[in-house]
Amino acid sequence: MSYDAYLGGEPVIITAALTGGVHGKEANPNIPETPEEIGRAAADAEAAGASVVHLHARKPNGERAFSTERFQAITDEVRARTDDIIVQHSTGGTGAPLEVRRQPLRTDPAPEMASLDMGPLNRYDHLTSENTRGMVDSLHDEMVERGIKPELEVFNDGHLNETHQLLDRRSLADPVYATLIFGSGTLTRPRPRNFLNAIDNLPEGARFNTLAFGRHQLPFAAMGMLFGGHVRVGLEDNVYYRRGELAESNAQLVERVADLASLLGREVATTREAREILGLESQR
Amino acid sequence: MTCPYLDYREASGDDSFETARAYCTVAERFVQPMRADICNDRYDLDHEAHCEIYREHEDGTESSGDDS
Ligand code: SF4
């Protein structure tokens, strides 16, 4: 993917990360947490231009849930309330063992996509989300068994090496789809030159998605679109609409990048176009 | 064992919720859902090892308790 791809005009896939599992309504009361709230947020995000929803599950008090049953309740609500959106489940889970992190892959139907964290990530002052290669391989293998496309989450440049090494160990279906993540802590520093470096070091033929936290969400979405990539926005990654003003909804953030795409001359991908780009077969 | 400083509250100051949420009585605020798993020693998590607020409180030093 490159500036030529931007000029070539491939539609941009907008992923809406609706809820996450780190912060919740204590950070922004508009974050959807219950299955019904998440289902409604997915429908609104789809109407605003999202073709993929990235889902985490929560308990009624907002705390993280990983069970297949809880993911089933959420995915059922999302599928009932949306027309054709692509469902992507998270397999992230700081401090949760592999058996727990497999659970989101076991819904019926399986999600079309699932996230696959490519390596370690520090949390707070005394905790690391390990994501060992063994864990990455195990989650990947279960995704393949269940026909789920992995979305490779690249937290930093070291994870670009991990991505190349995963391709040495496993054969991934084309196109490889990697989300480049920018922010503080273990993430790649959110600087334009680091973004250019990251896209230069992707595996040949890979497609990329652009994710930056907080106030970096919008400028990095713009860069992602200009360099032929795709974008992820949503309250999981950024609770503000602008400095000092909490976002009203996920749809508000999706709508803004959809408007930006059209200003930049990139069509927003329909769900059908997104499936074509990602090499997915429709389940809906 | 759950952290002794963990409480579940529906309201504090200007914040209120329909369902009681994890509240840290050291930091005097609601904690992030991910941190609540540390407070509850869920999965492979342990408040004595992983929570800087607990550790610094037990050491008698101040903690920023920055949830970032
Ligand atoms: S935030 Fe730390 S100190 Fe506070 S209740 Fe949780 S584990 Fe205990």
Cα separation values, A13 from A159, A190, A209, A221, A232, Å: 23, 21, 8, 11, 8
B15 touches chain A (CB under 8 A): yes
Q: Token digits for A109?
A: 């139907």
Tell me: cis bond preceding A219? Omega within 30 of 0 counts: no
> Residue of the nearest CA to atom 1 in ligand 1?
B24
B31-57 mean pLDDT: 97
Q: Which amino acid is at A215?
A: R
Domain count along chain A: 1
Question: Exposure of A49 by Cβ count < 10 A (0-12 exposed, 13-18 middle, 19+ buried)?
Answer: buried
Q: Using the beta-carbon criterion (under 8 Å), do B33 and A97 form an inter-chain contact?
A: no
> A42 and A82 in contact (C-beta within 8 Å)?
yes
* pLDDT at residue A231, as a whole number: 98
Q: What is the CATH number of the domain that holds A77?
A: 3.20.20.70
Q: Which amino acid is at A140?
A: H
Which of B6, B56, B63 has most ligand 1 atoms within 8 Å of CB, for mutation? B6
Please report, to the nearest 10 degrees, the dihedral formed by the alpha carbons of residues A86, A233, A260, A157 taken in order. Answer: -100
> A177 and A152 in contact (C-beta within 8 Å)?
yes
Residue-by-residue pLDDT tens, chain A, 284 positions: 678 877 887 899 999 999 999 999 999 999 999 999 999 999 999 999 999 999 999 999 999 999 999 999 999 999 999 999 999 999 999 999 999 999 999 999 999 999 999 999 999 999 999 999 999 999 999 999 999 999 999 999 999 999 999 999 999 999 999 999 999 999 999 999 999 999 999 999 999 999 999 999 999 999 999 999 999 999 999 999 999 999 999 999 999 999 999 999 999 999 999 999 999 986 66
To test the contact with chain B by mutation, choose from A28, A102, A126 the residue with the greatest count of B C-beta atoms within 10 A, namely A126
- Please list every residue in chain A whose beta carbon sits closer than 8 Å to the beta carbon of residue B19: 60-62
Predicted confidence (pLDDT) at residue B68 exceeds the cutoff of 90: no
The ligand 1 atom at the shortest distance from the C-alpha of residue B50 is: 7
Cα separation values, B64 from A125, A214, B33, B57, Å: 11, 20, 18, 11
B30-59 mean pLDDT: 96
Can you tell me the ipTM of this complex?
A: 0.92
Distance to chain B for A158, nearest Cα, Å? 22
* pLDDT at residue A83, as a whole number: 97
A26 touches chain B (CB under 8 A): yes
DSSP letter, residue B25:
T
Domain span at residue A104 reads 3-283
DSSP letter, residue A27:
T
> A121 and A129 in contact (C-beta within 8 Å)?
yes
Cα separation values, A209 from A8, A241, A259, Å: 17, 20, 18
d(CA A57, CA B39): 19
A64 touches chain B (CB under 8 A): yes
To test the contact with chain B by mutation, choose from A25, A63, A128, A235 the residue with the greatest count of B C-beta atoms within 10 A, namely A63
d(CA A104, CA A158): 26
For A149, the enclosing helix (H) or strand (E) is strand A149-154
Residue located via tokens 């609104």: A44
CA of A23 from ligand 1 middle (Å) equals 15
B34 touches chain A (CB under 8 A): yes
Predicted confidence (pLDDT) at residue B66 exceeds the cutoff of 70: no
> Residue of the nearest CA to atom 7 in ligand 1?
B39
* pLDDT at residue A1, as a whole number: 62
| Confidence at B67, pLDDT banded by 50, 70, 90 | low
Query: Which residue of chain B is at minimal alpha-carbon distance from A130?
Result: B44
Query: Which residue of chain B is at minimal alpha-carbon distance from A23?
Result: B32
B21 touches chain A (CB under 8 A): yes
Q: Which amino acid is at A94?
A: T
Q: Using the beta-carbon criterion (under 8 Å), do A64 and B33 form an inter-chain contact?
A: yes
* pLDDT at residue A4, as a whole number: 82
> Residue of the nearest CA to atom 5 in ligand 1?
B6
> A227 and A5 in contact (C-beta within 8 Å)?
yes
